[in-house]
Amino acid sequence: MPDAEQIRATVQRYTEVFSAGDKDAYVGLFAADATLEDPVGGEVHRGTEAISAFWDMTRQMTPEIELTVTGPVRVAGANAAFPGEARPLLGEDRMMVPVIDVLAFDEAGKITQLRAFWDFADLRPAE
C-alpha cells in the first residue's frame, strides 16, 4: 500500500498535470479499472479509456483549467481528501469553483477512484 507521503505526492502530481493540460500524464495516474465521478452525482466514468474521454469532453468546454489544493491533504489508509479550487477559463473570464476531491489508491499508488464534490451553482468569477 502506498504511504501517506506517496499519496500526497500523487495528489500534487494530479493537480500539476491537470493544470498543465497534460492528458497523458493525467490518465497515467489512474489504475486501468479506476472510476471518476466529477461532479459527484454525475456520470461515473470507468476505466482509463472513459477517463480519457472525460478529459476530452472537459477540455472541449474549456481548454484551460487550473486546479489547486487550498488546504491540507488528509490521508487515511489508501485514501485522500482535500479542498481545492478549479479555475476554468470560460471565454475571456477566469472563473472559480470550490471543490473537495476524494481519492482512493491501489497498492501501486495508482488512483482507483476519484470523486469530486462541487456544484455549478458555486461557480463565480475568480478574484
Catalytic residue among 3, 14, 24, 26: 14
* β partners of residue 59: none
User: Residue 61 in contact with residue 89, Cβ under 8 Å?
Assistant: no
126 Cβ neighbours under 8 A, 6+ residues apart: 87, 94, 95, 96
Q: Given the residues 3, 24, 26, 38, select the one marked as catalytic.
A: 38
Nearest Cα neighbor of 85 from 52, 124, 53 is: 124
Alpha carbons 108 and 92: distance in angstroms, whole number: 40
Q: Annotated catalytic, 14? A: yes
Residues with catalytic roles: 14, 38
